[in-house]
Amino acid sequence: TAPVWSNTIAGAIPCGGVVQEYPFVRGYLGYGSFVDAARYYGIPLYALDDAMSDTAEGQNEPYWRILNHDQIVASLMQSDVNRWQFIYPDRSFTNVSDRYRTEQTNIHHAALDISGQDYRFTGGTPGIALLLSDTLSWQTEHNGWARSAYQCYYGLTTPLVTDGIPVRQKAMECITSPDDLEGVTLLMVSYDCMKPLSEQVNTAIAEWVRDGGTLLYLGGHDAYENMTGEWWSPSEKGGTPLNNLLLHLGLDDISVTRPEGGALLEWASPSYQAELENEGGMLVQNDGFQAAFAGAAQPMLTAGGQTIGFTSAVGQGHVVACSLSSAAYSDSRSGANLLRQLTRYALQYTNYSYVSANAFTARRGNYVAIHPVQDDARLLGTFVDIFDSRLPVVVDPVVSKGTSALYYDLSTRDDSLPRVAYSGSIGQDGRLETREQTIFQVTGAQNALISTRITAPKGLFPAKVEAQNETGQAVGTVVEWDSATHSLLVQTHAGPASPTTVTVSWDTVGQRIPPASHYEDI
């Protein structure tokens, strides 16, 4: 189970010099960090769903509800996630409002229904992957040995993710041959915040590049590269992981040095330089973590006459490298834009160009999960809003920037008869749909009001709604008729093993059911 839940996606992260909360990005990257390893070992990946924080104690429900939306939608962006584990019902389900319980049943049904459905993703440039190692967790800032691994990791990822680029993450510990990099267009590697556990990783990367891959190396120095007794420590191995990688790439004529003094970063390309200057430029300082490349034949970036970045052909592939600390891309807006520049520059050696996207969108069958990252986004069509306890039918909904939404698409429905559009019921058995009656069963958590939304063709109206338990006793219902979308909401109680049967009778007389209104929790 991927240990990503409401607490792990809460809290501020650095992006472009601004430190702020962005739960969706944390969730997206968190789930993505487990996908490759689970796929490599053939292990089914479960996503956690925790509707209330470990520390919430029943408080601030609206805040944790929004985080739950981000968590669910972030997991749906990963095609490998088809299983969910809903945890701690004592705090996440029973200790919340009635409406939130009802909303969670909507989500639970979606989780059961989505598994195995066709997956279609829409976003920015595909195929960009960051090589990620668990050694990220043991490199610390203690005694100034390294820049914050936290800043380094988010520096390498958030500038692209917030630009709509679906950055993948490849488990470094699972790289044993070039075949393990299949499907990667551009591989991002940094050894100043994590380290390869064996030389086999560098051997595989170098062979992958020679076979036509494009490597974007991003990183400077840290004290951990100088530890003795590591596989890279002997001089014949290069002395550092980066030097060893250059050795395998056939670029051992390049020396990784330390820049002197401070100077403005300069691109060899005039167009990239103009863009950098538009952002106010970027100062490179010798803080012990920056590096420089002496002897590079094709300097790409310079600072004070020293080569900070280079490009080189290696076999049929290419290497693009920048020796700034990977944390530099989270330190400032110009740093974040520099990472986007470097990515765009490296992509010229691939079959892709840099294309940002306004939103991440994943379609799983009729389910549509969306999170806009740059501006508000509009979906065209008719949908049921699953994140609303009342399951309203919405037409061409607009999703605000930075929020997550989950819809059920009704565009392919046959509207000749009244149909159950969506229900939070766990079971969907015993359904009968005619012009005269709609009969369906509802099962679910004992103490939750289950919502069902029914759409009807023009000219038909609900005349009567009845609900009975399995012994024939009447069960109370809440019903609302929405004339704008010609849809009926039915809310009723049911148990996990004792279904409630709902019968809706239809006629052409006209509206008899109360119109939509905001009922208090029942």
pLDDT surpassing 50 at residue 520: no
Q: How confident is the model at residue 519, as a pLDDT?
A: 44
Whole-number Å distance between alpha carbons of 489 and 420: 10
pTM: 0.94
- pLDDT computed for residue 512 by the predictor: 77
Question: What is the percentage of the chain residues whose pLDDT exceeds 90?
Answer: 80
What gap in Å lies between CA 195 and CA 227, rounded to an integer?
Answer: 11
pLDDT of 522 above 60: no
pLDDT-based confidence at residue 91 (cuts at 50, 70, 90):
confident
Task: Please enumerate in sequence order all residues whose Cβ is within 8 A of that of 134, keeping only pairs 6 or more positions apart, or say none.
Answer: 172, 173, 194
What is the average pLDDT value for the chain, to the nearest integer?
A: 93
Determine what percent of the chain is predicted with pLDDT higher than 70: 98
pLDDT number for residue 516: 55
Q: pLDDT per residue over 103-129, tens digit each?
A: 999 999 999 999 889 999 999 999 999
3-class state of residue 422 by DSSP? strand
Q: What is the pLDDT of residues 215-263, one digit of tens each?
A: 999 999 999 999 999 999 999 999 999 999 999 999 999 999 998 878 9
Distant-in-sequence contacts of 328-331, Cβ < 8 A, 24+ apart: 328/155, 328/290, 329/155, 329/156, 329/159, 329/218, 330/14, 330/15, 330/16, 330/17, 330/151, 330/152, 330/154, 330/155, 330/158, 330/159, 331/14, 331/17, 331/151, 331/155
Name which of 154-163, 185-194, 467-476 the model is least confident about: 467-476
Q: What is the mean pLDDT of residues 264-280?
A: 94
Confidence band, pLDDT 50/70/90 cuts, at residue 405 = very high
Q: Choose between 142 and 449: higher pLDDT.
A: 449
Measured over all CA atoms, what is the biggest interatomic distance in the chain, rounded to whole angstroms? Answer: 89
pLDDT higher than threshold 80 for residue 517? no
- pLDDT reading at 173 higher than 80: yes
Section 454-470 average pLDDT: 94
pLDDT digit string, tens, across residues 297-354: 999 999 999 999 999 999 999 999 999 999 999 999 999 999 999 999 999 999 999 9
Q: What pLDDT sits at residue 38?
A: 93
Closest CA to 9 of 173, 154, 184, 112: 154
Split at pLDDT 50, 70, 90, the class of 498 is confident
- Look at residues 139, 45, 74 and name the one whose alpha carbon lies nearest to residue 403: 74
**Is 186's pLDDT higher than 90?**
yes
Reported residue count of the chain is: 522
> In the sheet that 432-433 helps form, which strands lie side by side, from edge to edge?
432-433, 437-442, 500-507, 461-468
